[in-house]
Each structure stands twice: as C-alpha cells, then as structure tokens.
Amino acid sequence: MIELLPLILATVITAATPLVIAALGEHVVERSGVLNLGVEGMMIMGASLGFAGAVVLDNSYLGLAIGALAGMVMAGIFALFALGLATNQVATGLAITIFGLGLAGLIGQPFVGQPRPPIPALVFGLDPIVCLSFVLMVGTAWLLNRTRAGLILRGVGESHGSAHALGLPVLKVRLLAVLFGGLCAGLAGAYLSLIYTRFWSPGMTAGRGWIALALVVFAAGSVWRLVAGAYLFGAILIAQLHAQAGAIGIPSQFLSMLPYLMTIVALVVLSMAGRRGAGAAGSLGQPFVPDR
Amino acid sequence: MMVLSLVPRQGVSRVREIVTPLVAFVVALVIAALVLLAMGKSLKTAADVYVVEPLTTAWSLQEVILKATPLTLIAIGLIFAVRANRWNIGAEGQYVVGGMFGGWVAIAAHGMEGVWILPAMLIAGMAGGLVYGLIPAALRNRFGISEILSSLMLVYVAELALDYLVRGPWRDRTAFNFPKSVNFDAAATLGPLWEGGKLHGGVLLALLAVLGAVVLLGRSRFGFAVSATGEAPRAANFAGFNDHRLTLAVFAISGALAGLAGIIEVSANMGQLQPSISQGYGFTAIIVAFLGRLNPVGALVSALVLAILLIGSETAQIMLKLPFDMTRAFMGLLLLCILAGEALTRYKVRWNA
C-alpha cells in the first residue's frame, strides 16, 4: 500500500489538473467582476480542437497550444458580447457553452477513437502541464495579491464605477482577464483529451467546466482554497473510479453522481461555515457601460 | 471599449421589439448557411430538409407540433424564472424526474384498468418536477448557493438516477437484457385526440399553460411581483414582495411544467421508461424563452420555429450527413444573435471613441 502511495497521488493530481487550470482562469475572470458561464464550452473546444490539432500536426505539444488558443477565441466571442455589447453575462455564457458543445462535436467527429502522438512524462511521472499548473497557481496568487496589476484587477471587480472614476480602463482589464480565463479553460480541455483520457469523445468534459465554476465559489477569493478544493475533487474522481472497478456493491450510477452531489455539498458546507457569498467581487456579473 | 462604445437609446419603439428577434434569427440562419456552403453541402437540399419538408405534409406538420409541445411547456416555466432574474438551467433534470415519477405510476399500475391512471401519472410527473425544482430554490434561500450551479448539477444526478432505475429495479425482466421498463398499458398512454391523428392531449395542456402564463404574468399581482423582483429587487422588497417565497414560486412553476413535459413525452411518445428520455429539451427551451422575448405567446411561436429545426435536423442526419451537433451549435449561435439584437435595441453602437 505504502509503495502505491506516490502512484495514487500522481493519478489524483492528474485528475485534478484540468479542474485546477480551468478554475484558476475563471477565478481571475470573476475577480475582475465578470461571470463567464462558458467554461464548459471553452473547455470542450480546447479538448476537441487540441486533439484534432495534435493528430493533424502529429505533435501533442502543438495540440495543447491549439486547444488553449481555441478556448481563448471562444472567450473572445464572449467578451465581444458581454463586454462590447453589455449583454447579460449569464445568458451569454450559456450560449457559449451550448455553441461550444455543438461545434466541438462537429470538429471532433473524424477523430473519435484515434490515438494521439505521445507526450513523455517529465519528473516523477508528472507531465509538463501538471508542472505548468503549479507555476500557474503560484503565479496567479502572486499576481492577484502582490502586484499593482492584481490590485487594479481586483479594484475593477469590486466596484467598476469607482474604478472608472479613477480613470482605470475597466473594460480593457476585464477583456484581458476573460481572455486569460479562456486560455486556461482551453488548455484544461486539451489536457483532458490529450493527456488524461488520451482520446477524444463527444461531451467528454462531462460537467467539469461547471465544477470549475463551483470551485471558484468555494475558493471564496483565495487561490489556495481553490487549489485545495480541486485536489479534493481529483481524489473523489479517482476514488469513484476505483470503487466502480472494485465492485463494492454500490451501483455505478450512484458513484458517478458523487462529483455532482459533492459540488453541492461543498457549497453547503462553505455556507454553513459562515462564508455565505464571501469573497465574490462586488460588481460580479453586472454589465458595465461607461458614461461619457 | 477601445473600439466600440454604447450609447443608450431614448425609449424603444414597439416595432423594433418585434423585428429584433426576427432579424436575429435571420442573421443566425445566414451564418449557418455560409458554414454549410463552406462544408460543401447543398443549400437547396438543406432548405428542403430544414424548412420545406417539415411544413408541407400533414404528417410532418403534426410532428412539428408534437416537438413544440415539451419546448413550450418548459419555456413557459422558464419565463417566470428568468423574468424574476432567477436562473433555472436545470429544467432538463426536472423534465427527467417528471418522466420518472409519472412513469413510476404507470409501472406500478401495470395490468390495472381505470381512467384514474393517466391523470395520476400527469400529476405525479408535475409533482416530481416541482419537488426537484424546489431543491435549487431552497438551497439558494437557505444557504445562498447559486441556483445556476446547483440546478445544473442536479441534471446529471437525475439522468444517472433514471439510468439506474431502468437498468435495475424497474427493468422489464421479460425484455431480455434491454435496459427499459415494461411497456405502458393503453390506460397509461396519452392517445391521439382523433382517430388516425398524432396530436395528443399534451398539446392542449401546452396551450393551456401559455394561456395561464399570459393571464398570470400580465394581469395578476403575482406576475407583477415576478417582474418587479427581476427588474428592481430592492424596490420590490420595499413593496413587500417576499424574495424567498418568490424564488420558491418561480422554481415550483418551472419545475412542475418541465416535469409535466417529461411525463407527457414518456407516456405519449415512448410508452416506456428508457435510459435517456430527452433530446436536450430543457436546454433548448432556454433558447425558446429568449427567442420569444420572455413572452408566453412569443415562446409558443419560437417553440414551433425551433421544432421545425429539430425535425429538420433528424432528416439532415441522413440526407446531409450532418450530426445533431450542427443543430446544437446553431442553437448557441442563435442565442448569441438574440442577445446581440437585445443589446442593439437598448444601445446605439458607435465605433471608435
């Protein structure tokens, strides 16, 4: 059992990494005061286009980059509507998700069941993207809490009216945050298809984008709570897979429900700990139209 | 922003309000047509498949109305929620639970006769959807949890629960290994309204729901409370409207209507429970509600329009080798176009500045 521990730990980290990356991206977006519910759509576009790119170009690293870019392009569409035209952010995010799920299915269709070019493990059996996710955690925490840029971003999210009055470029800051969120979601999706499952299958994100959104709520403003939550989820995902394989007498459907039920339970626990609505940016989800 | 700037319009004309969704729909169609051209598909065949065929035979016209029925029912419920600025994106789950509860009555009454069975199924379906819809509302009221996330998570839970039931306790032991319940008896089946026809009583229930929503939203104190809470929550609070009770009410309505849609589909079209009983109606209905500008009659018209598209997409899978994902992508695109249209009725867009 003891000798298995590093292996189990590695699988948990692998399962959690797409959640970590996507949630970190959305965390930055929500800190800037924007609620992008399109994470699931951006993620699946990253999974589909990333896989297609890797197969066509015969290079999985390029595939990961293409996946990330695909997520960013979707985020750009979201920004055009939600920031440029001040459309309702909830509805726009939903549209991005529905659109992304459809388009990703279309693009991925010829690649169902195909193998992808190999990606070697780097250190301790961990792949390069896991290592990148560590950098991303530290980088995001540092940027948000220790730099002037982070202060501006949080200020814009807390009160866009005041930020605008101070002469801060509200929409520009939000655009950059949204694009970063898309990049992360796309990369998380590409990681899912290229490294985690190693296959493309339609609808493979299976609600992970929504779980990432819940993790951001759970984080209540702290990058480290977010990361801890994501790894906890990775552990649940792995435990559920093992339980299904081990045939412990619980019907597999109930085990498959666990991640979704745990998401709700986690939010309930957070609320009972007295942190109801804590940490959400003050202007979250409200469109901003600068007056002249 | 740096390139776009929005200038609010002074008052919006009535004409613009009606024309906007039409323009949005046309723009989405043009983009879709360009995509089809780029994919090397024949636009003439596409027009035949998506528009002409569903509308030209008596048989397919009835199919269109049948498809529009669950969409209308669910969308009517969602209109209440969205107007109150509550986001029930889990209607798909409430639909599934409705089918499950109603289907349970049919399975339990298997072999029995009686006119009570069908009404009991419909009521059980509504009750199931209602209770399932109340969960996210209660979580929001009690714990401040985003109803968006919880209602969506519950969709997956409902689908898995149904999957378990039809493969486990409710499986028809005589059907070899097929994961399905027993076939419903005639007493548990919503039959056609007239001999040889296809339309069933569910169509009338959908029309009734539209009528009810028109009256409730337009003429009642409750309808006023819904809109007031959505548009000016603080003012509504001062006016004495209870925010928590309203959340429960709009989720109860949308859950019950989604549940009703679920059991109608199961009873009339499937005649059994099976692992999957929806084609994403709960999500499509969100687009129906928006395309209808959150107006019950508008939703009815939009449901018919999207039903034509759904029927067309079934043929297109064979005739044009276009997967259902094409339709889904179009739905997302359509919602984006509608939202852009809404923005352009409220603001004038200036470039530069």
Q: Does the pLDDT at position B232 exceed 60?
A: yes
- Helix, strand, coil: what percent of chain A each, to 5? 75, 0, 25
Output the pLDDT for position A122: 64
By mean pLDDT, which of A107-116, B62-71, B94-103, B313-322 is the weakest?
A: B313-322
Contact flag A102-B154 (C-beta cutoff 8 Å): no
Output the pLDDT for position A1: 60
Distance CA A159, CA A165 (A): 10
Residue A62: which of A204, A200, A201, A190 has the closest Cα?
A190
Of residues B145, B157, B286, nearest to A260 (C-beta): B157
As to burial, measured by CB atoms within 10 angstroms (0-12 exposed, 13-18 middle, 19+ buried), residue A160 is buried
Interface with chain B: mutation pick from A78, A92, A233, A264, highest number of B CBs within 10 Å: A264
Contact flag B339-A289 (C-beta cutoff 8 Å): no
Distance CA B164, CA A16 (A): 27
Once rounded to an integer, what is the mean pLDDT over residues B76-84? 95
* Domains in chain B with CATH codes: 42-321 (1.10.3470)
Does residue A261 sit at the B interface (CB-CB below 8 Å)? yes
Once rounded to an integer, what is the mean pLDDT over residues A99-126? 84
DSSP one-letter code for B185 = P
Does residue B146 sit at the A interface (CB-CB below 8 Å)? yes
The residue with greater pLDDT, A141 or A119, is A141
**Using a CB-CB distance cutoff of 8 angstroms, which residues of chain B are in contact with residue A206?**
156
| pLDDT 10s digits, B251-273 | 999 999 999 999 999 999 999 99
Distance CA B273, CA B162 (A): 8
Q: Rounded to 5 degrees, what are φ and ψ at B8?
A: -60, 140
Taking a contact as any Cβ pair under 8 Å apart, which residues of chain A between 184 and 213 contact chain B? 202, 206-207, 210, 213
Give the residue from chain A lying closest to B82, CA to CA: A91
By mean pLDDT, which of B79-88, B226-235, B278-287 is the weakest?
A: B226-235
Which 3 state secondary structure label does DSSP give B227? Answer: helix
Q: Rounded to 5 degrees, what are φ and ψ at A217?
A: -65, -45
Output the pLDDT for position B210: 96
DSSP one-letter code for B8 = E
Output the pLDDT for position B308: 92
Does residue B342 sit at the A interface (CB-CB below 8 Å)? yes
**Which runs of E-coded beta strand occur in chain B?**
4-8, 347-351
Q: How confident is the model at residue B1 (pLDDT cuts 50, 70, 90)?
A: very low
**CATH 1.10.3470 assigned to A2-275:** yes
Residue A125: which of A5, A6, A238, A3 has the closest Cα?
A6
Once rounded to an integer, what is the mean pLDDT over residues B80-84? 94
Which residues pair with residue B347 across a beta bridge?
A: B8
> Does residue A34 come out as left (phi exceeding 0), alpha (psi in the -120 to 50 range) or beta?
beta
Give the residue from chain A lying closest to B2, CA to CA: A172
Taking a contact as any Cβ pair under 8 Å apart, which residues of chain A between 108 and 167 contact chain B? 109
Contact flag A271-B157 (C-beta cutoff 8 Å): no
Q: Does the pLDDT at position A76 exceed 70?
A: yes
Q: Which helix (H) or strand (E) holds B150?
A: helix B147-167
Per-domain boundaries in chain A: 2-275
Output the pLDDT for position A66: 97
Contact flag B343-A85 (C-beta cutoff 8 Å): yes
Distance CA B91, CA B76 (A): 11
Closest approach of A103 to chain B, Cα-based (Å): 5
Interface with chain A: mutation pick from B5, B149, B334, highest number of A CBs within 10 Å: B149
Torsion A221-A227-A228-A231 (CA) sign: positive
Does residue A61 sit at the B interface (CB-CB below 8 Å)? no
**Using a CB-CB distance cutoff of 8 angstroms, which residues of chain A are in contact with residue B343?**
81, 85-87
Contact flag B325-A256 (C-beta cutoff 8 Å): no
CA B90, chain centre distance (Å): 10
Residue A267 in tokens: 């939010």
Distance set, CA A238 to CA A13, A191, A245, A255 (Å):
10, 17, 11, 11
Map tokens 């039920």 to a residue: A261
Would the ipTM clear 0.90, i.e. be above it? yes
Q: Does the pLDDT at position B21 exceed 80?
A: yes
Q: Does the pLDDT at position B314 exceed 80?
A: yes
Does residue A269 sit at the B interface (CB-CB below 8 Å)? no
Residue A123 in tokens: 């250190």
Give the residue from chain B lying closest to A85, CA to CA: B343
Beta-carbon neighbour count of residue A135 at 10 Å?
9
| pLDDT 10s digits, B264-310 | 999 999 999 999 998 889 999 999 999 998 999 999 999 999 999 99
Closest approach of A26 to chain B, Cα-based (Å): 14
Contact flag B156-A260 (C-beta cutoff 8 Å): yes
Q: Which helix (H) or strand (E) holds B6?
A: strand B4-8
Task: Please give the mean pLDDT across all residues of chain B.
Answer: 90
Output the pLDDT for position A288: 85
Of residues A102, A175, A214, nearest to B332 (C-beta): A102
Contact flag A264-B153 (C-beta cutoff 8 Å): yes
Distance CA B229, CA B241 (A): 8
Contact flag B152-A207 (C-beta cutoff 8 Å): yes
Closest approach of A100 to chain B, Cα-based (Å): 7
Q: Rounded to 5 degrees, what are φ and ψ at B350?
A: -110, 135
Closest approach of A225 to chain B, Cα-based (Å): 18
Q: Does the pLDDT at position A230 exceed 90?
A: yes
**DSSP-assigned states of every residue in B82-149:** HHTT-----HHHHHHHHHHHHHHHHHHTTT---TTHHHHHHHHHHHHHHHHHHHHHHHHHHH---HHH
Taking a contact as any Cβ pair under 8 Å apart, which residues of chain B between 260 and 289 contact chain A? 283, 286-287
Which 3 state secondary structure label does DSSP give A290? Answer: coil
Output the pLDDT for position B257: 98
> A143-159 burial string, b = 16+ CB within 10 Å, else e?
ebeeeeebebbbbbbbb
Q: Does the pLDDT at position B224 exceed 50?
A: yes
Output the pLDDT for position B174: 84
By mean pLDDT, which of A259-268, B21-30, B140-149, B231-240 is the weakest?
A: B231-240
Distance CA B2, CA A174 (A): 12
